[in-house]
Amino acid sequence: MPKPKPLSKDQILRAMSQTLSNRAAARWMGVSYVHYKKWAKTYDATEAGYENLFEQHLNQSGKGIPKYLRANGPEPALKDIVEGRVDVSSFSPDKLKYRLVTEGYLLEECSQCSFHERRVLDYKIPLLLHFKDNNKKNYRKENIEFLCYNCYFLTIGDIFSEKQVQNIEDHKSVNTGQVDWDVDDYHLERLRELGLDDVDNDEYDIVARR
């Protein structure tokens, strides 16, 4: 593994000028917080009252930082994200995908063929959120669409790598353990909405459980 590169004082000052906290500065530079902290503490502060650049850029009160970027803060208005006023880097793609459906920005079906059939076991629909300009931070409505796996393959490109396809088609057994049917938060919320999450008390549940 290559050794992390040193960070110069000019680099750190530039990151500080573009952000409101040390963690945000580390994200802006594309480095770990620990690595950033190490080098920011190396350089003397440029303002009086601080020992180093790290202390100078501390923002423990969160001054100037939108509330939705703080711990347990409210979600931003989806309209602000769709219209490009809010950077999506700090938000879960699954949550955004879910909100695009529930708040009426996208129908939960393929935009090309209208496929919307759900898998019985977990109620998932095989849809991918496609960004037409290939910028996965651009959630403007005219730039996003749902595509089923088939339409994505036919119009955009491969979904699976050659190795993934080989693993799927290989005659050798690749999984002899118990299957885990756990689903992520996004799909669990969908199941709750449909009243399908309480499978342990469902007398018609077809999935064998110990």
Mean pLDDT of 81-85: 81
Residue 25 has pLDDT above 80, yes or no: yes
pLDDT in tens, 53-78: 999 898 755 555 554 444 444 566 78
H helix count then E strand count, the chain: 9, 2
pLDDT in tens, 127-155: 999 999 998 888 999 999 999 999 999 99
pLDDT in tens, 28-44: 888 888 999 999 999 99
The pLDDT score that the predictor gives to residue 132 is 94
The pLDDT score that the predictor gives to residue 131 is 95
SS3 sequence of 23-71? HHHHHHHCCCHHHHHHHHCCCECCCCCCCEHHHHCCCCCCCCCCHHHCC
The pLDDT score that the predictor gives to residue 144 is 95
Confidence of residue 198 (pLDDT cuts 50, 70, 90): low
Residue 174 has pLDDT above 60, yes or no: no
The domains of the chain are located at 9-57, 78-156
Q: Cα angle at 38 between 30 and 64, to 5 degrees? A: 60
Task: Please give the mean pLDDT across all residues of the chain.
Answer: 80
The pLDDT score that the predictor gives to residue 4 is 77
Confidence of residue 204 (pLDDT cuts 50, 70, 90): very low
The pLDDT score that the predictor gives to residue 210 is 41
The pLDDT score that the predictor gives to residue 147 is 97
The proportion of the chain whose per-residue pLDDT surpasses 70, expressed as a percent, equals 72
**Residue 208 class from Cβ within 10 Å (0-12 exposed, 13-18 middle, 19+ buried)?**
exposed
The pLDDT score that the predictor gives to residue 69 is 44
Run of H or E including 175: none
Tokens of 141: 């409505």
Q: Kindly report which listed range (88-102, 148-162, 192-206) carries the lowest average pLDDT score.
A: 192-206
Q: Kindly report which listed range (45-54, 166-175, 178-187) carries the lowest average pLDDT score.
A: 178-187
